[in-house]
């Protein structure tokens, strides 16, 4: 029996007015595979991720999850399908607690309809499992470092048992130590059988952990290549148009 990919896109298009941000992109990704999505500014990387995350709807094309055609009209639809997203801007609310951010949109309630704070406190144990020690679920997110914020977002994806995680520039503005921790967490996704699409401008970061690379230029797919078939130097040359 032919193996079915976890996700497959066919001929995805996205326009913003006259701007053709995603132009007929088709690709697949399997369980436990890390796909490096690379390209220059304006290549269409984030636009493609926003289609998959439900933030924007494609104007043309089809999306399949495990062989079944799906419609992703909202982030809630994506989460229901097992797709979690960690955005470049780290979509956390500074004025809210760690627990409220962790369960945002999926807050557990008790029989009386109030927040189940005991259940929400589990986020502390989840974060400890990935090496992030924060003493209280009431800790204000505004006081977290960039790496800690990314850890919260990544821990949330693991807790809610994602099938696939979309990472949009997850290492931007992080210290060297924090970058290595985020990359280690991505490899933990792989070990758990979770697929990852990883956007970054840092070719070395994405090369170290990816199995395959999808390169976009002006909204179009120009290369889909296995890691074994390329090098950091060759990927850089493609991005520079050489």
Residue 180 belongs to some domain of the structure: yes
Is residue 12 located within the same domain as residue 88? yes
Count of domains observed in the chain:
2
* Domain enclosing residue 105, as ranges: 94-143
Q: pLDDT value at position 89?
A: 53
Residue 152 belongs to some domain of the structure: no
Is residue 12 located within the same domain as residue 74? yes
Q: pLDDT value at position 121?
A: 92
Residue 155 belongs to some domain of the structure: no
Is residue 26 located within the same domain as residue 52? yes
- pTM (predicted TM-score): 0.88
Is residue 171 located within the same domain as residue 73? yes
> Over 80: is that where the pLDDT of 90 sits?
no
Is residue 120 located within the same domain as residue 229? no
Position 28 confidence tier, pLDDT thresholds 50, 70, 90: very high
Is residue 184 located within the same domain as residue 138? no
* Strand arrangement, sheet containing 34-38: 83-86, 164-168, 195-199, 34-38, 212-217, 220-226
Residue 36 belongs to some domain of the structure: yes
Position 136 confidence tier, pLDDT thresholds 50, 70, 90: very high
């Amino acid at each position: 029996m032919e193996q079915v990919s976890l996700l497959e896109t066919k001929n995805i298009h996205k326009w913003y007015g006259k701007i053709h941000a995603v132009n007929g992109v088709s690709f697949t990704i399997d369980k436990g595979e890390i796909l490096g999505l690379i390209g220059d500014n304006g290549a269409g990387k984030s636009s493609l991720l926003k289609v998959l995350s439900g933030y924007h709807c494609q104007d043309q094309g089809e999306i399949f999850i495990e062989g079944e055609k799906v419609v992703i009209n909202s982030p809630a639809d994506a989460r229901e399908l097992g797709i979690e997203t960690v955005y470049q801007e780290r979509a956390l609310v500074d004025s809210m607690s760690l627990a409220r951010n962790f369960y945002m949109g999926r807050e557990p309630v008790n029989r009386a309809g109030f927040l189940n704070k005991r259940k929400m406190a589990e986020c502390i144990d989840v974060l400890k499992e990935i090496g992030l020690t924060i003493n209280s679920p009431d800790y204000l997110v505004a006081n977290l470092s960039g790496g800690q914020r990314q850890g919260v977002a990544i821990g949330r994806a693991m807790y809610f048992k994602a099938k696939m995680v979309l990472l949009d520039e997850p290492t931007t503005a992080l210290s060297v130590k924090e970058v290595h921790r985020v990359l280690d967490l991505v490899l933990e996704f792989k070990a758990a059988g979770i697929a990852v699409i990883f956007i970054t401008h840092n070719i070395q970061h994405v090369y170290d952990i990816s199995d395959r690379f999808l390169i976009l230029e002006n909204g179009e797919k120009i290369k889909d290549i296995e890691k074994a078939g390329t090098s950091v130097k060759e990927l850089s040359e493609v991005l520079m148009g050489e």
